[in-house]
Amino acid sequence: MNHTAAGPTDPPDRVDSRLINRRRFMERGIFALFGGLAAILGLPIVRYVLSPIFGIKEDLALSTQWAPVAPLSEMEKVEDIPKTFHVPYRIFEGWRYRDVSRPVFAVKEGGELVLFSAYCTHLGCPTFWDLPRGTIVCPCHGGLYNNLGQVVGGPPPRDLPRLVYKVENDVVYLKSPAEG
Ligand code: FES
């Protein structure tokens, strides 16, 4: 049978050992409490110190509004043949963010850069530029678009939608990458 409290008949060394155990328990509890507080308060400092490393992740978190597509120098090489870019961004799913990407086409129209969606307007399959045929092709049901994303054949009901972009610090950003 276990006794938890010192009785009047317990020998003095047994009473001492119980007091020491209790003191140790309390000390550990206090250490754990302060350790937890230090971790909570220290987290922003650690985050600040490591922020250069996690900068890219933070950029992606912002990418729900503006997602980086490519440096302007790379876009300037684009001509009248659509070039596909895979744009990374984040979506909020349930209780966490998930990194995803989407394909977009970039092309020059009258010297101006144009971005448009690579998702077919029929049922949303990703399309691709078919160089030998000189058209954008949807592999699902044979939808065809010209180099500017205008429907030229198959079931798609509409042209591929144009997308809004901006240039900032010599980088091209796509607006609201989860849409369109
Ligand atoms: S999804 Fe593209 S043609 Fe049907």
CATH number of domain containing 103? 2.102.10.10
Q: Are residues 35 and 71 in the same domain?
A: no
CB 99, CB 90: distance < 8 Å? yes
| d(C-alpha 35, C-alpha 23), whole Å | 18
Looking at the chain, the whole-number percentage of residues with pLDDT higher than 70 is 73
pTM above 0.95, yes or no: no
Q: In which domain, by residue range, is 47 found?
A: 9-62
CB 163, CB 115: distance < 8 Å? yes
| Residue 149 belongs to a domain | yes
Flag whether pLDDT at 72 surpasses 80.
yes
Any bridge partners for residue 93, and if so which? 96
DSSP type of residue 119: B
Q: Does 92 or 114 have the greater pLDDT score?
A: 114
In this predicted model, what pLDDT tens digit does every residue of 119-158 receive, in sequence order? 999 999 999 999 999 999 999 999 999 999 999 999 999 9
C-alpha 164 to ligand 1 mean position (Å): 23
Q: Are residues 58 and 71 in the same domain?
A: no
Q: Are residues 100 and 122 in the same domain?
A: yes
Q: Are residues 47 and 80 in the same domain?
A: no
Q: Are residues 51 and 117 in the same domain?
A: no
| d(C-alpha 143, C-alpha 151), whole Å | 8
Q: Are residues 73 and 56 in the same domain?
A: no
Ligand 1: residue of 119, 121, 125 to mutate (most ligand atoms within 8 A of CB) is: 125
| d(C-alpha 12, C-alpha 4), whole Å | 15
Any bridge partners for residue 115, and if so which? 106, 163
